Chains A and B, each alone.
Chain A
Amino acid sequence: MSDLLYNDSNIYLFVAVFMLFCGIAGLVYRRTLIGMLVSLELIMNGAGLNLVAINRFISPENPYGLAFTLIIMGIAAAESAIALSIIIIIARRYKHIESGDMKELKY
């Protein structure tokens, strides 16, 4: 039974690190703030998948990883709500949502 493909932890961890890969690449590569937020959600998703896979294969006797993944989901919801309201304010003020031109608070 254990030689089935979905009983191998490497595939789950590889998918998680691939989502982290895509998230970092999108965070650096995208110009608009909504695109960067989408990449950030990808990173959060990859972290959750990583925690659940580690919990299932390394320490299957308690559900700490599942509980922390639920907490990550709550944090992602709060973070995206705040980020989207900030993006809407920025769009009203600057008339665009490119991240490169917002440098009033940079120096």
Chain B
Amino acid sequence: MMSIGEGIFLFAVAVTMAGALTAIFASSIVHAMLGLIAAMFGVAGLYVYLNSTFLAMMQILIYVGAISILIAFAIMLLGQYPRKSRNFRGILKLLSSLVISLVSVFMFIRFVMANLPKGVAPNFAMTARDIGRLLTDQLILPFELISLLLVVAIIGAVMLSMNSRGDK
């Protein structure tokens, strides 16, 4: 008998996988973006089941709120361009991509699944306070480097789009 929690968990897993498949096989790029958003929401649900609700909120805020809106803006700005181009490559590329991906799945099943510890899942109660302690104590250098990276990315994006306005 499946409980309600397990049902919701399976729903999150199904939303994630269906969203990922939609994101790569949809013929329209807008549908692909919507599939990506569905996959991100599913991953946020899985984060809740992994006892890390802070990360679930950050997933919704950053990925769903920022990155997909950025992609939507790019699709709207380039609205006339992708229409003339075909969306997919040939069947040979599809076969090669399937081979690459199946090798990764095989490696997962063969090596990772065999070495995981079995038994009772341990308790896991990390709050946002613990993450903040770790980020400002031991991981202070990567934390500051992320802020530097974001500043460089913002300035770089502005400079790229400003300097290319003149030439055709």
Contacts and interface: CB of A to CB of B under 8 A. Distances in A.
Are A and B part of the same complex? yes
Interface of A: 2, 4-15, 17-32, 34-35, 37-39, 41-42, 45, 48-49, 52-53, 55-58, 60, 62-64, 66-67, 69-71, 73-82, 84-89, 91-93, 95-98, 100
Given A5-B9, A81-B157, A96 B84 contact: yes
Contacts of B102: 21
14 contacts: A15-B17, A17-B105, A23-B20, A26-B23, A28-B96, A35-B87, A45-B63, A48-B43, A48-B59, A49-B46, A57-B122, A60-B122, A62-B130, A73-B59
Contacts of B93: 28-29
Contact of A63 (B16, B116, B134): B134
A49 B160 CA distance: 32
Interface in B7-45: 9-10, 13, 16-17, 20-21, 23-24, 29, 32-33, 36, 39-40, 43
- The interface residues of chain B, by DSSP majority, are classed as helix
B55 to A, nearest CB: 6
Nearest to B48: A6
Nearest to A51: B55
Interface of B: 2-3, 5-6, 9-10, 13, 16-17, 20-21, 23-24, 29, 32-33, 36, 39-40, 43, 46-47, 49-52, 54-55, 58-59, 62-63, 66-67, 70-71, 73-75, 77-78, 81-82, 84-89, 93-94, 96-98, 100-102, 104-105, 108, 112-113, 116-117, 119-124, 126, 130-131, 134-135, 139, 142-143, 146, 149-150, 152-154, 156-157, 160-161, 164, 167-168
